[in-house]
Amino acid sequence: MDFEDILKKENITFEDLREFQRIYDERFVDAKFTGFDMIRHTTFHLSKLLGKLSNYCEKMEHKKDCSALIEQMKKEVSPDLKVYGFWIDKLFGVEEPVENYFARVIDNMERVYPNKISVEEIEHYKGLLNKRLNKNQNKKLSKKLSKKIKKLRKVTFFSFV
């Protein structure tokens, strides 16, 4: 898959975004920044984004026009946060970002809003998330097994030829 393939898709998924970012990074970023250098560089960019958010908050507190800043949030800050999120996923080996997101939000519900959600509802959501995680683990194991079987078939085939 390449940039064009992804951009032409009717419905873009989270995995498509990750793949688009992976292709971008491979082509433009990876040779420049890896490991700690990438984390440090990402931290600088996140700091710049926080500055933009702070600028917006200050203008709002002083009742100033923020329409240009709102556009900046939409066109720069929000997309950049996604880019840096993908970088952090890659740097720290996050394999299930969607499930981690759900787990974090469910944890916040339980921790921050215990008076607005029942223990039963939280446990229900945790159960659904665990099913999802188990399903993903089974898919990964199945893919690994399929790859090993293909390798074995090649080895076996060439052993007898």
Question: Quick one: pLDDT band at residue 134, thresholds 50, 70, 90?
Answer: confident
Residue 102 pLDDT > 70: yes
Range in 40-49, 64-73, 77-86, 145-154 the model is least confident about: 145-154
**Structural domain contains residue 107:** yes
Q: Is 104 within the bounds of a domain?
A: yes
pLDDT of res. 1: 86
Domain containing residue 153: 95-161
Does residue 25 fall inside a structural domain? Answer: no
Distances (CA, A) of 103 to 78, 91, 125, 134: 21, 20, 9, 14
CB of 122 within 8 A of CB of 109? yes
- Which amino acid, one-letter code, is at 101? Y
Q: What is the pLDDT of residue 157?
A: 52
Say if 22 falls within a structural domain: no
Total domain count for the chain? 1
Q: Is 142 inside any structural domain?
A: yes
Residue 42 inside a domain? The answer is no
Exposed (0-12), middle (13-18) or buried (19+): which is 120, by Cβ within 10 Å?
A: exposed
What is the distance between the alpha carbons of residues 11 and 158, in angstroms, rounded to a whole number? Answer: 42
Is 108 among the domain residues? yes
pTM of the model: 0.75
Q: Is residue 41 part of a domain?
A: no
